[in-house]
Structure 1
Amino acid sequence: MAGEMDLLDSMLDLTRRLPPMSIEENVSSLVELCPDYADDLLGSVDQPLKLRTDHTTGRDYLICDYNRDGESYRSPWSNEYHPPLHDATYPSARLRKLEIAANDAFDTYREMYFEGGVSSVFLWDLDDGGFAGVVLLKKTLNPATNASGSWDSIHVFEASERGRMAHYKLTMSNDKSNSTMGTVDLSGSMTRQVELDSSLTDSSSHITNTGRMIEDQEIKMRNLLQEVYFGKTKDVVHDLRSVDSLEKARKQREVQKELAGLLRK
């Protein structure tokens, strides 16, 4: 048993060190090498979100392990599985009503922040009387432009009601920004976790509370990308490539030396 866990840990450790932009190819290769660990590996490694189209409503939605049952995926718009299932699991009537409202709310959030892309929200009941859910967000740049890239967010949360209060646990994972321009690639993934106690006025308060948590975490994530990753990349590029000519730079150094000498005198 210990040997099996060591092998799985080694596979997970390898996926963290390989290029994030090739995560699908890397996981597929590892599954081919160790097919007995396919379920454990696929359940532990987040991969880029994929789109499906709801044939009933004609609207796109995102698929992941949280809306999958066997080989079928449930649409948040029609609450139907594609392909159809006879013994599928569905949220309760109360939770389905909240799920519909949450999809409308985060669809507005997606349009305001990303100006495009696709969002999906899925909720499910828990045995202790609470519920859990996942908010999926994906934005992909137009391939016709000179640059290509995508942003994938998976927000998994758990809500437990305590009278007029609710306790939330939010895990934000696989927030990945892939950017390709020319021969420069920038990609990566991060995971963050936060807990919060908030008041409840009605069932819609869950949408407000979780929405605020997700908004705050995404803002922090984007700021971190802007300040650290993109900022560091700009510094490296500016150090590698000089806009001014070498002759101009030589003259500037000579002037600096001359000024330094005069100051010393």
Structure 2
Amino acid sequence: MSVDPFDASLDLLRRLNPKRTGTNLNSIITIAPDLTEDLLATVDQPLEVARCKSGRDYLLCDYNRDGDSHRSPWTNEYDPPLMDGTVPSESVRKLEIAANEAFDVYRDLYYEGGVSSVYFWNLDDGFAGVILLKKAPKPSSAAKSSGTWDSIHVFEANDKQRAWHYKLTSTVILNMVSSGETLGELDLSGNMTRQAEKEFPKGEDSDHIANIGQMVEDLELKMRNLMQEVYFGKAKDVVADLRSVASLSATNKDRGIHQEMLSGLRQR
């Protein structure tokens, strides 16, 4: 029974350390260059930051890539320059500009820093796009903890007879490392993907930004709460069962006090 190389590559990536997804992906592409386009379009990896000639930072991903060049959402130009690079139509570009301004405010309110980029492109019966958000602390030799948060929200907006149908696929990639003398080194890395669909009645073109923004905000909030309750909560329970921050003598002393209190209550 033959194994599809693409499926085998995805299966391998799922079993490797998510913190090294980019490195592992490049290794697979080197071995199987024919899978480059399919893998880059399928596998989510941490976002990279670049700076365009306007002096503003923007995020790189497969959705704003054409060959070896990437398009800036601020200037609508490719770096390195391309004569025939793919760009959205004039009407969709206006929406893209408005979306970048709106999500720049969203980034500042929710993340208090970081970088955001929004890219739109045309579809036969509507348009599609991706909203990218990245937050990473500034590197410091004195810091004992570090981490990165990458949000990738891909959506399609399809024109129905009386409404716009939106389909959103959101992926969050988290990498957090903490070290200290008491606990040692803790490395939490992983990703989560969720989907949502919704219809909104037709209105002005500017309504698209509000509709998409509402869906992104709701789904990202649900994912953030789920990660906090399930992933971090479970990790805390596991670490607490395996290791104790307090010394053994202090733990035994607390147990002794606890037993004395229980004995006193029983005697009453």
Are the aligned partners of 1:164 and 1:201 in contact in 2 as well (CA < 8 Å)?
no
User: What's the counterpart of residue 194 of structure 1?
Assistant: 196
1:133 corresponds to 2:129: yes
Which residue of the other structure, out of 75, 96, 99, is the alignment partner of 2:72? 75
Change (3 A) 1:254 1:75: closer
Aligned pairs (5 A) from 1:6-45:
7-45=5-43
1:118 corresponds to 2:115: yes
Change (3 A) 1:248 1:50: closer
CA distance in 2 between counterparts of 1:264 and 1:204 reads 73
TM-score in terms of structure 2 length? 0.89
Q: CA RMSD in A?
A: 2.2
Are the aligned partners of 2:40 and 2:62 in contact in 1 as well (CA < 8 Å)?
no
Change (3 A) 1:241 1:85: same
User: What's the counterpart of residue 182 of structure 2?
Assistant: none
Amino acid at match of 1:34: A
**Displacement, 1:60?**
0.8
Structure 2 stretches of 5 or more lacking a match? 180-184
CA distance in 2 between counterparts of 1:226 and 1:36 reads 39
Change (3 A) 1:263 1:114: same
Which residue of the other structure, out of 131, 150, 153, is the alignment partner of 2:151? 153
Amino acid at match of 1:9: D
Provide the secondary structure at the position in 2 that maps to 1:187: strand
Change (3 A) 1:4 1:38: farther
Provide the secondary structure at the position in 2 that maps to 1:194: strand
CA distance in 2 between counterparts of 1:251 and 1:60 reads 55
**Displacement, 1:190?**
1.1
Aligned pairs (5 A) from 1:1-265:
3=2, 5=4, 7-55=5-53, 57-128=54-125, 130-144=126-140, 145-173=143-171, 175-182=172-179, 183-254=185-256, 259=262, 263=266
**Displacement, 1:255?**
5.7
CA distance in 1 between counterparts of 2:87 and 2:152 reads 20
CA distance in 1 between counterparts of 2:60 and 2:144 reads 28
Please identify runs of 4+ aligned residues in structure 1 that moved more than 4 A.
Answer: 251-258
**Displacement, 1:220?**
0.7
Q: Per-residue displacement from partner, 1:203-253 (whole Å, max 9, x unpaired)?
A: 111000000000011101111111112222222333333344434443554
CA distance in 2 between counterparts of 1:257 and 1:71 reads 68
Change (3 A) 1:117 1:255: closer
**Displacement, 1:260?**
5.8
CA distance in 2 between counterparts of 1:26 and 1:169 reads 30
Change (3 A) 1:89 1:257: closer
Q: Taking every aligned residue pair, what percent have the same amino acid on both sides?
A: 57
Provide the secondary structure at the position in 2 that maps to 1:188: strand
Are the aligned partners of 1:200 and 1:206 in contact in 2 as well (CA < 8 Å)?
no
CA distance in 1 between counterparts of 2:87 and 2:28 reads 33
Provide the secondary structure at the position in 2 that maps to 1:142: coil
Change (3 A) 1:71 1:228: same
CA distance in 1 between counterparts of 2:147 and 2:257 reads 44
Provide the secondary structure at the position in 1 that maps to 2:113: coil
| Aligned residue pairs, count | 260
